[in-house]
Structures are given as C-alpha cells and as structure tokens.
Structure 1
Amino acid sequence: MADESKTQPSTTTPSTSLPNSATETNIKQSQAGADPNGISLELTPLRYATHRGESEIIKYLLEAGADPNRADWNGEKPIEISAFQGHLQDVKTLFPVTSSITACLGGVVRHVCSRKAFQKRKRKAKEVLLETKLKAEDSFRNKEYDMAAGLMDDQDATLLSKRSECWTLMGKAGSTLADAKRCITLRSGRSEAYYRKGVALNLGKEYAEAADAFLKALKLDPNNIELRNVFQ
C-alpha cells in the first residue's frame, strides 16, 4: 500500500507557482523572533512552508503564533495548500487548529482535489493574473522597473517579454537574456522574443550573436519597421 503522506495530486494550478528567496528570508526572520504572520511577496511564512512541505517549520510557526486560518491571495488556507500538494502529514498538523473546514481529514483532501475546488482555483487565478498585469503595467509606466519585473509571471509569454524589457532598462543583460530565452521556449514563432534576445546580447556586447537574433526576428516579422532600423 502506498504511503499516503507522499501522495502527490497530478493537477497543478497557477497558485502553486511561488517565489523563493524573499519568502525564505521571511521564514528565517520569523525563526529569529519576527512576526510569524509577516507578508513577503504576498505570502506569509506559513503559506510558503505548507507549499514546500516543510513540516518542522510549519510546527514551529504554529507554536510561534502563525495564523492557520489566514487565506492567501488565492483564497486558500494553509491546510488546503498542504492537501493539494499531497503533504498529508502537514494536513494532520493543521487540521486541529483550522476553523470552518470539512469535519474529517479525508474530507479535506477530497474537497481540495475536487473538480469544483479546481474550477474555483482556476477562476481565482485568472482574476489574480489580470490584477497583477494591471499593477505591473502601472509600475512600468511609472518607470518602477524593478517592481514591474517582480510582478510579471514567467509562464506568460507577453509578460515575460515585458519583464525582459524591464531588465534591459535596468541594464541587467543576464536577466534580460534569460527571460528572452524563456519567451522563445514559450513562443518560438514570436518575433518579439528574438528581438528581446538580440537586445540582451547587444547589451552584453555579444554583437555577432545579437545580429543573428535580430535577423531571426526580422524573418518572422519582415514588415516590422523597428527591426529594419536595427540593421540600418
């Protein structure tokens, strides 16, 4: 019989895509006596720990006063995150201290993995993505490029291209190139992706490779005036 504590649901949602370094710092600060409910990148230390399956940290945070009933930006409580990720031992830890949930452990897992719950997460994720896009656009218009870059989703080719532009405006060739390559992976037929790669390589003074990238972009979009001007 399989160990249920290691069972992993096969379905994923945008809500499981998390940042790391800033939130890890928040957890360390909580261990040092800081507010266990402090927010970093819209996540509490407990929310981050439940996603990662950090059982001992979860216990520590609860003892330190972390709120197990505080929902995240996607409307999900820590116990729901643990159940969805298949961290059933953590579900058992959170179950006694979580209010307004199904009356049994098995019910929690069935609810979180149900089609109804999945559709709810999907709808909420779309709302959050739209809101994040608007915030990122505002930050970009205000020339707050670092803030804009932090808000942009690396699973969305359009936002990824825009984030690459943010890195360019901050003079960060490596980050510009990394996002441009990711954008090419997501949409290989998109001329803007190769253009961003060319900009990144040009910023890094790799002029021959930059020219090749610009040429690929121009072949995909031969009527693009901006690309034509690059070769003039």
Structure 2
Amino acid sequence: MGPIHTKLMTEGSTHFIALLEECNKIVPGAETLLLAAIAGSSVKCVKLLVEAGADVNDGLITPLVAAATNTACLKYLLEAGANPNVPDNFGRMPIEIAALDGSREDVEILFPVTYCIPTVHDWSIDGIIHHAKSASMKQGDHSNVRRMAELKSLAVNSLKRNDYFSAATLYSVAMKHDRHDATLLSNRSLCFLRMGDGHKALQDALACSEMRPGWPKGWYRLGAALMLLKV
C-alpha cells in the first residue's frame, strides 16, 4: 500500500483533508480512494470521502460491489444513495456476491432494495443464498470456465495499469470459483506486495507453496514477502 493510502487509513491524519480532493482519481494500488477506504474497512474515511463528493456509483468495481461483504460500509453506502442493482463486470448483483461469500446479514440488508433476479427461481433470502452456492459448485461448466478466463484477463489488465487493488479484488473473486488454483494465490500475493502489504502477501504465498510445493514461483513470492516484512 502506497503512502497516499497509508495516510488515508490513518483517520486522524492532518493530511487526510488534502486527500479528499483526489477521491475520484486513479491512484497506485486502488482505483479510487473510496475503494481504498472500503478495502481498509474504514467507515469514517468512507463517510468523509462521500461527504466530500466521492461518487458512490462510479468505477470499474463499484463501491457497493466492493462493500458487498462489509456490513458497516454497505449500510452507509446504501444510505448515501448507492445503487444496489448495478452488477459487476460479470453480471452479478451485490446481493449475489454477498450470498456467494456466505454473508447472510448482508444478503438480508440488500434483499429489500434489490430487484428480483430472473435466474433466481426462489426469490427469498434462503433462495438467493442457495442459488449462489449452487452456481459456485458448478466448476466444470462452460460458463464458469469462460468467467474464470475473463476474471484473469481483467486482473492482468489491471496489473498492467498498476491498479493493484482492482487486480487483487478480481483474483479474490476468481478464487470463489476455483479454490485450488495456486496461480491465483501467487498473483494476488504479487498484488499485495506491490501495495506494500507484506502480511497478506505472505499469507497468500504460504498457501500457494502449500498447494504446489514443487512450484518455484510460490517460494519466490514467499521470499519477497519475507523481505518486505524484513523478517
């Protein structure tokens, strides 16, 4: 995580007000400062940014999609006018993302304000959760393979733009479809390394090396994370 995000997460920083003017600019590590605040689970920063004019419905990854499993930020963004019926790049509504993650409380919050999704036959809280989990189990179907390819492609493009936050988020979404792909862990570890988050980079590198102990890249990521942490 770069200096601008470090200052952002320091809620009492005297430099924070100056950062508000940049709330909708592309910055290293996250598409916008609002997304960075959501990633840091800083509701106070989210509120300050929105009050300063941050767009709650803008971005490759909309703030509500990013906050779909972050209850406090989710509640505030809805109060601030975030649209719960704007899907991500793969056509999934925030309520589906929350259901896929198993966040029942977030599904309950989003349910009254989300339009009925035609592919969900049982439009109820339990029905949505069941639908999301059933869809995630279909690892071998063509649509899932295509979605994985799209996710990886978008993540690579984000890396090329030095948008490490978006890339890490996309790899995280991909992992919900395939939890046994070590390359996803390796690539997300790289994103965390570039953002300066050694602890998360190390966690992914360890998981990657455990999953594929004979793969050199996993151990390389592990060494890089340890160097960043100065262990």
TM-score, structure 1 normalization = 0.50
SS where residue 35 of structure 1 aligns?
coil
In structure 2, distance between residues paired with 1:176 and 1:86: 22
Give RMSD over aligned pairs. Answer: 4.7
Deviations 1:196-222 (A, max 9, x none): 55677789999xxxxxxxxxxxxxxxx
Match of 1:87 in 2: 104
Match of 2:146 in 1: 127
Match of 1:194 in 2: 219
Deviations 1:168-196 (A, max 9, x none): 9x7x8958983544431221122443355
Counterpart selection for 2:78 from 62, 85, 90: 62
Instruction: Check the 8 A contact 1:184/1:194 in 2, yes or no.
Output: yes
Among all aligned residue pairs of Structure 1 and Structure 2, give the percentage whose two residues are the same amino acid.
34
Paired amino acid for 1:158: T
Instruction: Check the 8 A contact 1:136/1:149 in 2, yes or no.
Output: no
Match of 1:44 in 2: 62
Deviation at 1:35, TM superposition (A): 1.3
Alpha-carbon distance change, 86 to 189 in structure 1, aligned in 2, over 3 angstroms: same
Instruction: Check the 8 A contact 2:95/2:111 in 1, yes or no.
Output: yes
> How many residues get paired?
178
In structure 1, distance between residues paired with 2:93 and 2:69: 11
Alpha-carbon distance change, 150 to 157 in structure 1, aligned in 2, over 3 angstroms: farther
Alpha-carbon distance change, 166 to 21 in structure 1, aligned in 2, over 3 angstroms: closer
Paired amino acid for 2:55: D
Match of 1:6 in 2: none
Unaligned runs of 5+ in 1: 1-19, 207-232
Instruction: Check the 8 A contact 1:53/1:90 in 2, yes or no.
Output: no
Match of 1:225 in 2: none
Paired amino acid for 1:183: C
Match of 1:151 in 2: 167
Alpha-carbon distance change, 27 to 77 in structure 1, aligned in 2, over 3 angstroms: farther
Deviations 1:49-87 (A, max 9, x none): 331233xx4443233221121112342222334445343
Structure with the larger RCO, 1 or 2 (CA within 8 Å, 6+ apart)? 2
In structure 1, distance between residues paired with 2:117 and 2:86: 13
Alpha-carbon distance change, 73 to 187 in structure 1, aligned in 2, over 3 angstroms: same
Match of 1:30 in 2: 50
- Map of 1:1-232 to 2, 5 A cutoff? 21=36, 23-24=38-39, 27-28=46-47, 29-39=49-59, 42-54=60-72, 57-84=73-100, 85-88=102-105, 91=108, 93-101=109-117, 107-114=124-131, 117-119=134-136, 126-137=145-156, 146-147=162-163, 151=167, 153=171, 156-161=181-186, 178=202, 180-194=205-219, 197=222
Instruction: Check the 8 A contact 2:156/2:167 in 1, yes or no.
Output: no
In structure 2, distance between residues paired with 1:176 and 1:80: 25
Instruction: Check the 8 A contact 1:165/1:176 in 2, yes or no.
Output: no
Match of 2:29 in 1: none
Name the larger-Rg structure.
1
SS where residue 188 of structure 1 aligns?
coil
Instruction: Check the 8 A contact 2:198/2:228 in 1, yes or no.
Output: no
Instruction: Check the 8 A contact 2:107/2:125 in 1, yes or no.
Output: no
Instruction: Check the 8 A contact 1:137/1:148 in 2, yes or no.
Output: no
